[in-house]
Amino acid sequence: MTRTLLQPLHLLLAGMLAVLASALAANSQEGEQLKVGVTLHPYYSFVANVVGDAAEVVPLIDAAANPHGYQPQPGDIVRAQNLDVLVVNGVGHDEWAFEIVEAAGRSKDLPLIQANASVAMIPIAGDRGDGRIINPHTFISTTTAVQQVYEIARRLGEIDPENVALYRANARDYGARIRRLRADFMEAFAKLDTSRFRAATVHAGYDYLFQEFGLEIAAVIEPRHGVNPTARQMAATIEDIKAAGVNVLFGEQYFEGKLAETIRNETGVKVYVLSHINAGPYTPEKFEEEMRRNIETVLTAIRETTEGAN
């Protein structure tokens, strides 16, 4: 029975690969580059550095759009119709991308690269729910970024074998740069006394970043991104912050709410701002630039907390 069930799947996959190969051949004959779609700003940086000049990187949504709770627009559908492949987060941060692909009639013939296929997921820190919800913010970390870069390069090499060597070489070079970025701060972190550092975040977007530097998050303010907690949730969070001795709160750049201010007034914690890497122009350098600022901010927060306690 297993053999009978696998045969149709095998034929379906073979048919999809044949369609893709035909499309790529047509593009090659017409002198067109592979069009690689991306759903998020960090993936633009990852793909742009992997493909170099060998492919065109196409953001699925406009740079000014907020990916949290995004509603698909007509222009997104047009872009999806012209893609050869789409790189997705696929674990909760870009669910709207699948709506766009379906609306564009590409559900069956548009290859998807699941960037997180080789990433070890962690649950959201400070979550108040009964279950353990997977944190989709794997792109706000140097370690998981390198894993995703390699996965993207591997899959692109399968789809576009003529450039497989280039994709691999570029992924190695870019991965090395990201690792050097992290290494630039490791010695400084190792010298710090983090025993007095107790952090909370407005949004659960920085768990992977904190994990790779051996730091913990005591509480998360928002139940979901952009959703203000109820009065009861806020009161419980404030009590948690006081009970845990939290002295630092990380807010989010471009966040317009007043949650951080409210928490600061109620608890006296110091507030620092981190980037969610989800706004501004799409650029190859964006991930490295904003991750460096994020790490510098965390380092500063620890130093100032330690100095203030002495």
Q: Both 45 and 172 in a single domain? A: yes
In this structure, the answer to whether residues 64 and 200 fall within a common structural domain is no
Count of alpha carbons within 13 angstroms of residue 222, beta-carbon side: 19
| Domain end (from 136, 164, 180) | 180
Strands 199-201 and 248-252, by their bridges, are parallel
Same domain? 156 vs 270: no
228 & 290 share domain: yes
Q: Which residues contact 83 (CB under 8 A, 6 or more apart)?
A: 35, 36, 37, 58, 60, 106, 110
**Structural domain total, the chain:** 2
Same domain, 198 and 176: no
Same domain, 153 and 199: no
64 and 124 part of one domain: yes
- How is the beta sheet containing 34-38 ordered, strand by strand? 55-59, 34-38, 85-88, 112-114
Domain closes at, from 151, 180, 209: 180
135 and 246 co-located in one domain: no
Instruction: Please tell me the pTM assigned to this model.
Output: 0.85
Q: Say whether both 172 and 196 belong to one domain.
A: no
Residue positions counted in the chain:
310
Each residue's pLDDT expressed in tens, for the chain with a length of 310 residues: 433 433 444 444 444 444 454 444 444 445 689 999 999 999 999 999 999 999 999 999 999 998 988 999 999 999 999 999 999 999 999 999 999 999 999 999 999 999 999 999 998 875 555 556 889 999 999 999 999 999 999 999 999 999 999 999 999 999 999 999 999 999 999 999 898 899 999 888 899 999 999 998 988 887 565 567 788 888 888 888 888 899 999 988 755 457 778 888 888 899 999 999 999 999 999 999 999 999 999 999 999 987 655 5
- Same-domain check for residues 146 and 171: yes
Q: Which range marks the domain in which residue 45 is found?
A: 32-180
Q: Is residue 95 part of a domain?
A: yes
Rounded CA separation 118/142 (Å) = 14
Would you give the distance in Å from CA 166 to the centre of its chain? 24
